[in-house]
Structure 1
Amino acid sequence: MSRRTLVVGLAMAATLTATAVPGAAAEEETALKFPSTRFPLGARPAPTKTVTAVAQGIDLYDVKAGTSTDGYTVTVLMPSGRDYGMLGTAQAKVAEVEAAGEVASLQKVVRPQVADAPAQEVYMVRVGLWTIKDKAKADKMAKKLKEAGLKVKTDYLGDDGLQTTGPWDVKVMMIDSRTFRGSYAASLGTSVAKRESVSSMAKARGALAAVNGGFFNIHTAKQLRGEPVGASVVSGRLLSEAVPGRSAVVMNGRKARITELGSTVTAISQDGARLPVNGVNRMAGTDELILYTEEYGAKTPANDGSDVVLDANGKVVTLRASGAAVPKGMRVLHGAGVASDWLNEHAWEAWTVKVDTKLTDLRTNRALKLTPDLNVIAGGVGLVRNGQVKITAKLDGHDSMNMILRRHPRTLVGTTRNGSLILATIDGRQPGVTVGANFVEAAQFMRWLGATQAINLDGGGSTAMVVGKKVVNHPSDGRERPVGDALLVLPK
């Protein structure tokens, strides 16, 4: 592998556009079947696949494509800690490498434009190029540069998100709406606050299959990190508020669709006073009013706020100091600061405080009925809308270079024109074995499979697909990671 190969590969960033979708399924086709065209990524190799019938209407495809030709380089980190920067910053790093007695390459990288974020041009500084078998040599160079005072990392080129030959290791589950007789559900495990493995959640519900759900909050207290980031509905109960406009999969019985959601929760005292509820089953910020349900599985914040315990009919059972668990069969309105003052004025013992909850489909502007069959899992990024690639990375909070361009393991969900469901995992971060996908590639892949709507769920080390009692993909952590929620495929 020559240095020129590396430079050309990096220059290919500009070709990753949201309109290049080779082998997309014809929109008029409604039958659910695995595509007969070549694999849509890289040089479009012919994939190999094996198929297993999981249950009536459910087929699992084990797909492999591509070959390993990527190697290693050493990437110099910028003062920000990122592996890229603006031209002047990158040029200064080239000078530092040269002062250490080594030769550096200054390489322009273009993060592709997506539906709601423009293309971004940045620069990377890299030293050397080694085959996949010579990682130890790359590590040796990294050590030398670190000893010279530079911050660097050994980098596998397959992770770049630029030109690659693969390989890819993919699991695809196709659930045919015409013959499937089960149903779909969401699970948060034993509680909202606690993280749990997909296999554990699947076992508890006797699921035929399951994949990990949406992103969970890693920026809260450690014991609360199972909290979903975005809308979560389990059996008709809103357990986490929507991030306005964020993609989600909405499931009702054996029907599933993809849309964007908004939610409003309002506390209404019997004296007519109203106050918006800022969140559901999460930490309270300054002056916020938060609703906690018995599914929360943790104590309310001990922040000198106020707790009002409500029974199922909204009657105020008791007022208490904050920092206690939610009693079984009850809900708690917790107020901090100004919200605490409101509770003290309008939520007296034996009064009634109605909690009005609305979940709205933003595509139709219609309210969703919170019935026991309704389940919702928030997605991370919209990928395909109405049969066309539409990557909403900024709206969904993931418009960084790392998230859009770099390759990672992916968990993907899509629906077809006839209402069938496609679940897929693309394993990654395993040099020489599987490279994962970036957002553009993930969108191309789901269109190839026949999805007319598709979103990205949580990925990375969270990516997991369970069939029966077995994890069928290869999580990049080397083992299954506890996650916030899971999408379950149930036998009835």
Structure 2
Amino acid sequence: MSRRTLAGGLAMAAALPLTALPAVAEQASVRFPSAKFPLGTGQVPTKKAIAVTQGIDLYDVKAGTSTDGYTVTVLMPSGRDYGKQATAEARAAEVEAAGETPSVQKVIRPSVADAPSQTVYMVRVGLWSLKDKKKAEKTADTLKDAGLKVKVDYLGDDGLKTTGPWDVKVVMIDAKTFRGSYVASLGTSVAKRETVSSMAKARHALVGVNGGFFNIHTAKALRGEPVGASVVGGKLLSEAVPGRTAVVLKGRTARITELETAVTATSQDGQRTEVNGVNRAAATDELVLYTEEYGAKTPTGGTDAVLDANGKVVALRESGAAVAAGTRVLHGNGLAAEWLFEHVFQDWTVRVDTKVVDLRTDRALKLTPDLNVISGGVGLVRNGKVKITAKRDGHDSMNMILRRHPRTLLGVTGNGSLILATIDGRKPGETVGANFHEAAQFMRWLGAKQAINLDGGGSTAMVVGKKVVNHPSDGAERAVGDALLVLPK
């Protein structure tokens, strides 16, 4: 069986001139680095700086050049674009039978802090320049006609060696001179998705970026629900996935840590039970708390206990109704409904206790009005060193760790300054995005001692003033679950 290796001749990109920065930026306690760009061929990037307000600077950064082209990737029987060596060899034989010349490519997904490296094999056909995508598509059509499932791949997305280019926006917020505050926003409700622009406009924010991942595997009307902890103005609006990375915002401070939450309900008769979730769809036998911020009806097929602000049971009803302003609802089905029948009665009091624990300090957070929490996607940097917790944070796949995507990143410097960055991607020839390791390297280069990856892909958006300053990969700003907003006071 004939084989050929995909060419990897990557041209060395010429260094780009450095744009002079305003003197105010040079005097700040958080500064844009003068060192070479940490990705690609290590050239000096171009950058333009704009002073947004006292203590906040926006940087428009460009680096790298386009040398990647296209190939055709043959999918494995599993539907993935990679598999074991024997499976890849068998697929390659089918490609040869179809009259094309395949290449079996060994790919090593690098290890992360909580998951070992992984070796897989891909089958690819052909190599074309950026301008010859149609030729790649023609070969793909030939293979499809032979009964093979294939896709046209831009090699810059692979996560392997590349020269870029990269299109990056960075906001640096100086802890010494900034006088505003940081908050989380879920928009008008938990269930509804909104754009960062909409949420930023409503709060007159100076800067906004998309927040954490939201649940795309629930009912369509509920897909604004954050996957992980969400606290807005001191109120827990979504429970944590225990141990996952989050950013805790209080006033003008930001801190990255891991969280767990506990919610309990205690009836007037002294009986106590766990509340399984907050503002999300209920599974069988679960007790779920719904707050007035939910923005959707409680699930049907169960029992609702409606509580006023003091915990008094003002109504017991069949489920499937909205949560009125000034109330909370304990919804139960199955065994949880039975607990409500046995221990919750009209005009009784039910105490709902909420606890959010910082796992790095083993202390509960005080749920004061200035406390906000956004659940991150993946921890990237801890104490100045790369520490990618992809498995713990639910993203240890080949696609998430190795392949490049648009990224929204958050970092905190040694003196508490905040760094927000978006790396645009999925635009062949214009910007390639970043994988987890590149994202971690990039944030360390910017000066972050702690850093996390927020939601990315088509969700990546940065708003400064009233303008989206990056270029979302969907072609337009996507509605998302939550946002981090920088307020003027």
TM beyond 0.5? yes
For 1:5-84, what aligned pairs fall within 5 Å after superposition?
Answer: 6=7, 31-84=29-82
The alpha-carbon deviation at position 46 of structure 1 amounts to: 1.2
Partner of 1:321: 318
Q: Which residue, 142, 145, 148 being the options, matches 2:146?
A: 148
Partner of 1:359: 356
| Uncovered stretches (5+) of structure 1, i.e. residues with no partner | 10-29
1:175 counterpart = 2:176: no
The alpha-carbon deviation at position 4 of structure 1 amounts to: 5.0
| Uncovered stretches (5+) of structure 2, i.e. residues with no partner | 11-27
Partner of 2:228: 230
1:397 counterpart = 2:398: no
Q: Deviations over 1:176-220 (max 9, x none)?
A: 000000000000001000000000000000000100000000000
Structure 1 counterpart of 2:281, one-letter code = M
1:479 counterpart = 2:476: yes
Q: Which residue, 276, 279, 298 being the options, matches 2:277?
A: 279
Partner of 1:340: 337
- Whole-Å separation in 2 of the counterparts to 1:7 and 1:307: 62
Other structure's SS at 2:293 match: helix
Partner of 2:164: 166
Other structure's SS at 2:132 match: helix
The alpha-carbon deviation at position 68 of structure 1 amounts to: 0.1
Structure 2 counterpart of 1:321, one-letter code = E
Structure 2 counterpart of 1:114, one-letter code = V
For 1:302-321, what aligned pairs fall within 5 Å after superposition?
Answer: 302=300, 304-321=301-318
Partner of 1:255: 253
- Whole-Å separation in 2 of the counterparts to 1:390 and 1:42: 21
Structure 1 counterpart of 2:404, one-letter code = R
Other structure's SS at 1:35 match: coil
Contact kept? 1:75, 1:152, Cα under 8 Å: yes
Partner of 1:239: 237
The alpha-carbon deviation at position 379 of structure 1 amounts to: 0.2
The alpha-carbon deviation at position 7 of structure 1 amounts to: 5.8
Q: How many residue pairs were aligned?
A: 469
The alpha-carbon deviation at position 272 of structure 1 amounts to: 1.1
For 1:216-227, what aligned pairs fall within 5 Å after superposition?
Answer: 216-227=214-225
Q: Deviations over 1:291-310 (max 9, x none)?
A: 000000000001x2110000
Contact kept? 2:29, 2:176, Cα under 8 Å: no
Structure 2 counterpart of 1:420, one-letter code = S
Q: Identity of counterpart residues, as a percentage?
A: 78
Partner of 1:14: none
The alpha-carbon deviation at position 8 of structure 1 amounts to: 7.9
Contact kept? 1:391, 1:439, Cα under 8 Å: yes
Contact kept? 1:385, 1:452, Cα under 8 Å: yes
Contact kept? 1:253, 1:374, Cα under 8 Å: yes
Contact kept? 2:406, 2:422, Cα under 8 Å: yes
- Whole-Å separation in 1 of the counterparts to 2:149 and 2:8: 22
- Whole-Å separation in 2 of the counterparts to 1:109 and 1:446: 25
Other structure's SS at 1:295 match: coil
- Whole-Å separation in 2 of the counterparts to 1:341 and 1:278: 15
The alpha-carbon deviation at position 31 of structure 1 amounts to: 3.0
Contact kept? 1:7, 1:107, Cα under 8 Å: no
Contact kept? 1:197, 1:481, Cα under 8 Å: yes
Partner of 2:114: 116
The alpha-carbon deviation at position 328 of structure 1 amounts to: 0.8
Partner of 1:22: none
- Whole-Å separation in 1 of the counterparts to 2:298 and 2:67: 53
Q: Which residue, 109, 123, 127 being the options, matches 1:125?
A: 123
- Whole-Å separation in 2 of the counterparts to 1:75 and 1:8: 19
Partner of 2:365: 368
Partner of 1:433: 430
Partner of 1:19: none
The alpha-carbon deviation at position 366 of structure 1 amounts to: 0.5
The alpha-carbon deviation at position 88 of structure 1 amounts to: 1.1
Closer, same or farther in 2 for the Cα pair 1:36/1:456, shift >3 Å?
same
Contact kept? 1:78, 1:90, Cα under 8 Å: yes
Structure 2 counterpart of 1:259, one-letter code = T
- Whole-Å separation in 2 of the counterparts to 1:45 and 1:202: 35
For normalisation by structure 1, the TM-score amounts to: 0.94
- When the two chains are superposed, the root-mean-square deviation of aligned CA atoms in Å is 1.0
For 1:100-111, what aligned pairs fall within 5 Å after superposition?
Answer: 100-111=98-109
Contact kept? 2:228, 2:238, Cα under 8 Å: yes
For normalisation by structure 2, the TM-score amounts to: 0.95
- Whole-Å separation in 2 of the counterparts to 1:8 and 1:363: 45
Q: Which moved further from structure 2: 31-40 or 430-439?
A: 31-40
The alpha-carbon deviation at position 152 of structure 1 amounts to: 0.2
The alpha-carbon deviation at position 6 of structure 1 amounts to: 3.3
Q: Deviations over 1:316-365 (max 9, x none)?
A: 11100000000110000000100000011111111111000000000000
* Runs of 4+ in structure 1 over 4 Å off: none
Partner of 1:469: 466
